[in-house]
Amino acid sequence: MHFDRDGIAFDYPDNWTVETSGNPENGLEVTVSAPDGAFWSINCQPAGSEPNQLTEAVISEMRQEYPNLDSEPVIEDVFGRALPGADLNFYCLDLTNTAEIRCLETPTACYVLFCQAEDRDWEQLRHVFKAMTTSFVQAADNGPA
C-alpha cells in the first residue's frame, strides 16, 4: 500500500492500518499499525527543529510510562541520509519491547519517526520498519516534503 498526504509519502504492508491526526501547520502525525499491535509513526515538526531535542523529548515521555527504559543514541544511514535518534528497550506487561526513534531534517520540516514492537516480533518487523522508513526518506528527498 502507499500513503501520500500533505508531503508525507511512504509504502506500508497491505494488512496494516493507517491513522492520521493533527494537520501540517500544527504537527501532522501518521501511525501505521500491524495486526499484532506493533506500529511505525511519523510526526511532522517545523523546519529548523533540533533532532536531538526532539529525540530527548520522546525519550523523556517514554520514561514517564516506562521508568526502567534503556536508551542508546544512534545515527542510522537510510538511503544515504544520516538519521540521528535512539534505540530503546523496555518492559511492558512483562514483555520486553524495542523501539527506535529517528529524525529526518528537510528544508520544510523535521520528521520524527518512531517504531515499536515486542521483542518476540522485532527481528521480523525491523525489516518492515526499515523498508517503510527507506520509502519515506526516498519520497522526502525526491518530492516536495
Q: What is the residue whose three cell numbers read 523501539?
A: 99
Chain segment 40-80, per-residue pLDDT in tens: 999 999 999 999 999 999 999 999 999 999 999 999 999 89
Helix (H) or strand (E) holding 57: helix 51-65
Q: Residue 23's pLDDT is what? A: 77
CB 75 within 8 A of CB 82: yes
Chain segment 6-46, per-residue pLDDT in tens: 889 999 999 999 999 987 667 789 999 999 999 999 999 99
CATH number belonging to the domain at 16-142, selected among 1.10.3720.10, 1.20.1600.10, 3.30.1540.10, 3.40.1000.10:
3.40.1000.10
Is the whole-model pTM more than 0.85?
A: yes
Sequence-ordered alpha helix ranges (H) in 12-118:
51-65
Q: In whole angstroms, what is the distance from residue 110 CA to residue 49 CA?
A: 6
Chain segment 82-105, per-residue pLDDT in tens: 999 999 999 987 889 999 999 999
Q: Residue 22's pLDDT is what? A: 86
Helices (H) and strands (E) in the chain — how many of each?
2, 9
Q: Where are the domains of the chain?
A: 16-142
